[in-house]
Structure 1
């Protein structure tokens, strides 16, 4: 990853920017912080900062993620259900990717982050189930607000499409071994991805 600092300096943006010498003064501290982050990233999936090396420690998951992404791309709209980091992580990736590579053919993402009945009702009223998908994200697999919204969407899919077809419109991202969502994924053979415990 690289960080573009072009819009950081006073010479480029005016008085609100910083002088290059100010950044130079911070260089030793930045090196120390960087070394700490690198050290805490070692140790594979059990490292304190395991999330920085997922592409290395979970290479088999990349194929599953890409396959899931290909299925999701066929929809016009996708509801992303999650609270806190579960939603913020997805939002951050979405914003970063659309900023550098806008794709008008990509599904519109609708982030459902709290129990807002109006937002959910509007989403369901203004979308066609056959053109909509849902991704439910809960690290613990038991976040109540997330589960409630997911169950409402799941019920909508099943009423509109039937249980078998509804299964192809929903994905779960949750704990690899425990929690209500993991149990549901196993029991009903729903597509899912694991969130490693240290991530």
Structure 2
């Protein structure tokens, strides 16, 4: 369950006044009559996903754990952000599992690629390459380099047992290469776009390999699918969030700032930014999704949020129960003057930082705040949360009257880059 608190949102109207529009869009989503409806496969994925493939994913994940010290996840955008968001959110900093996960194929940085190849040269390596077309340049280039490295290290036959390809069932360049080489393959569904694909094998294989229960993850998706399948704003928090975003946008806000108070939520914010930016940033419309991690960024961007241009609202994502906690010790001489916090928990201090910041930004700064909260950072709640965002995004984008499921603007840089590369 995701709770939405609007008591600090400084709204000028009543959310419930938008019920008729929400009902109309809800019916459009579920009847699949809106723009981009060919990409609504996520809507009922929890009921339709391939159970046999799901079982194969768990077997492959165990094999990766047995055969590797490092798993390279090779993909860009939705091909890696969802898995990274899940793994970092659910395992926290400095995870205690034995498998290290490194994300590649998401940059042209020569330094990053060369350093990674050097870092893994003496380690046991497995690779999950993720690309629907096989032609995404950043991913394909890294995959060529890593594939050749692995074939030289292990020989072609053994390398094939360590490479897993998640791609289209039939089309593209990666599928025939995988078949020729003998890689185990998993399918990216035709009707689910990359930024929604964390609930498919795209996200499930790396998440399972990291030792996270994908059964619990999918149960969260399934429960959200059921509980958020109604148009009533009084009982559907996803639609409330989507509607309030639109209300604030129409009130002149240009930027939504994703705020977290846990460092292990940084990549949840990165995933969220892609989901909303690629879905809504088109036709000269849309909120700019940005993110901060407090209290760290209170010492930098906090100044702008407090006193800068008033075109921002914040959406704070809170976890009720922290993954870890401890108390502040007493020190005899109190030379650092921290004894006033002795006996207090670090999480309690973090909560006070949130409360103080909320008051500063809302009351003094006039910055609207939406507060989203979940009980704890586990696989179930992550699954529920991503589906919550899917549903909120569909409502919000259709309220903007844009197609939530295409990304025509992304193609412009590619055309220019290919021209300059001489392709």
C-alpha change, 1:132 and 1:191, in structure 2 (3 Å) is same
- Considering only CA atoms, is the larger Rg found in Structure 1 or Structure 2? 2
**1:173, distance to aligned residue in structure 2 (A):** 0.8
TM score, norm. by length of structure 1: 0.76
How well do the aligned residues superpose, as a CA RMSD in angstroms? 3.0
**1:157, distance to aligned residue in structure 2 (A):** 0.9
Q: How far does the alpha carbon of each residue in 1:92-114 deviate from its partner, in whole angstroms, 9 at most, with x for none?
A: 33344335xx9521522222202
**How many residue pairs are counted as aligned between the two chains?**
184
Is residue 2:47 matched to residue 1:48? Answer: no
d(CA) in 2 for partners of 1:52 and 1:129? Answer: 43
C-alpha change, 1:116 and 1:34, in structure 2 (3 Å) is same
Query: Which runs of no fewer than 5 residues in structure 1 stay unpaired?
Result: 11-16
- Say if 1:174 and 1:193, in contact at 8 Å, map to a contact too: yes
Given candidates 153, 167, 191, the residue that maps to 1:160 is 153
Q: How far does the alpha carbon of each residue in 1:33-55 deviate from its partner, in whole angstroms, 9 at most, with x for none?
A: 555444449xxxx9531024334
User: Which residue number in structure 2 is paired with residue 133 of structure 1?
Assistant: 126
d(CA) in 2 for partners of 1:33 and 1:52? Answer: 14
SS at structure 1 position matched to 2:39: coil
d(CA) in 1 for partners of 2:38 and 2:52? Answer: 18
Is residue 2:123 matched to residue 1:123? Answer: no
C-alpha change, 1:62 and 1:78, in structure 2 (3 Å) is same
Q: How far does the alpha carbon of each residue in 1:45-86 deviate from its partner, in whole angstroms, 9 at most, with x for none?
A: x95310243342222221122122222233332221112222
Query: Which runs of no fewer than 5 residues in structure 2 stay unpaired?
Result: 193-423
Given candidates 46, 50, 59, the residue that maps to 1:67 is 59
- Equivalent runs, 1:78-97 vs 2, <5 Å: 78-97=71-90
- Say if 1:133 and 1:170, in contact at 8 Å, map to a contact too: yes
- Equivalent runs, 1:1-199 vs 2, <5 Å: 2-5=1-4, 8-10=5-7, 17-18=8-9, 25=16, 28=19, 33-40=25-32, 48-57=39-48, 58-74=50-66, 75-98=68-91, 104-105=96-97, 107-112=99-104, 113-128=106-121, 130-199=123-192
- Say if 2:76 and 2:139, in contact at 8 Å, map to a contact too: yes
* Higher RCO (C-alpha under 8 Å, 6+ residues apart): 2
User: Which residue number in structure 2 is paired with residue 14 of structure 1?
Assistant: none
d(CA) in 2 for partners of 1:173 and 1:23? Answer: 45
Range moving further from structure 2, 31-40 or 107-116 = 31-40
SS at structure 1 position matched to 2:133: coil
- Say if 2:69 and 2:123, in contact at 8 Å, map to a contact too: no
C-alpha change, 1:77 and 1:32, in structure 2 (3 Å) is farther
C-alpha change, 1:4 and 1:73, in structure 2 (3 Å) is farther
- Say if 1:173 and 1:195, in contact at 8 Å, map to a contact too: yes
SS at structure 2 position matched to 1:158: helix
Q: How far does the alpha carbon of each residue in 1:125-183 deviate from its partner, in whole angstroms, 9 at most, with x for none?
A: 12245522211111112223211110110111111122222112211111110111100
